[in-house]
A and B are shown apart, each in its own frame.
Chain A
């Protein structure tokens, strides 16, 4: 089985289970507020790390290259509250153009 299939199946089964914890098993109960808050911060922390990995990492070094245009496009899309798909599109076009010009 390819790495992609292993990841797809493992993440699929795991996410189905995570989503089911409340509705199947724990009706009428809730997590301590502090724990809920902690889980809510996992997304920002991991997604910000993915920005570093996709925008600046090249193997084991950090570089500034055309992908910086993609990062900038993302920041602008947040500031103007653009939909996520627009961030993807503008990020791709900006990066490709900078790469073409350099």
Chain B
């Protein structure tokens, strides 16, 4: 990176600084929840460093913890992260350099870094995105490590209410992704499908089937 490019990166770090304690705390929550789902501390931290997308990480912990099977966990997580295809494409014009550099910098694209750097608008600034994304990554991975180590001491997760914490977090994550009536329709349909199928199929499958809930949101656009 050239010298003149560090200005926007520093600006990005400054812009995101007030959010960092909350991101650290959420990372710690993921670490604890992952341990409650019997995921080791090291894989939990490796996941935060590589996947770096909170909702999909908690989904993996939840599905594995419920005995839902590794394939269901992987597919559900990747479906949750499919939104990064259009998000990445909306900022692609701002990236430069060779394949490896683009690949590396693309990993710092998350919802918050995209929004704070003007993603999807004419004033998108790649340097700001890298500053915001880099600071978020450090806070997320650091928080995860602290939570995963602290979570090692957990005896019975249900005595601490950690199963209820999963439920609360997923409700809050739904809330964070609602954008009007179509997404609300998709969410309600997804929940309905999952509830209807739960008695009849193994854990994990109702979540994958809930993918069809997007059709409820889609029909509303006609």
Contact = CB atoms under 8 A, between A and B. Distances in A.
Nearest to B65: A54
B52 interface: yes
B214 A4 contact: no
A46 B79 contact: yes
B198 A15 contact: no
A48 B169 contact: no
Interface string B22-33: 100110110001
B16 interface: no
Contacts, number: 370
Contacts of A69: 161, 164
A34 B217 CA distance: 11
Given A52-B206, A74-B172, A87-B168, A3 B64 contact: yes
Contact of A44 (B54, B161, B187): B187
Contact of A57 (B60, B169, B198): B198
B78 interface: yes
B128 interface: no
Which residue, A14, A27, A52, has most C-beta atoms of chain B within 10 A?
A52
A49 B86 CA distance: 23
Main secondary structure of the interface of B (DSSP, over half): helix
Contact of A30 (B57, B81, B86, B207): B86
A46 B80 contact: yes
Contacts of B171: 51, 55, 71, 73-75, 77-78, 87
B161 A56 contact: no
B84 A15 contact: yes
B99 to A, nearest CB: 6
Interface of B: 22, 25-26, 28-29, 33, 38-40, 43-44, 46-47, 50-57, 59-60, 62-64, 66, 68, 70, 73-74, 76-93, 95, 99, 102-103, 105-107, 109, 158-179, 182-184, 186-191, 193-195, 198-203, 206-207, 209-214, 217-218, 221
Given A12-B47, A22-B87, A47-B59, 13 more contacts: A5-B40, A16-B50, A20-B88, A20-B102, A47-B173, A48-B190, A49-B193, A49-B206, A53-B68, A60-B199, A62-B195, A62-B198, A71-B171
17 contacts: A4-B39, A6-B74, A18-B78, A27-B92, A40-B86, A48-B210, A49-B190, A51-B191, A53-B66, A53-B203, A54-B166, A57-B203, A60-B200, A75-B171, A95-B164, A95-B165, A96-B159
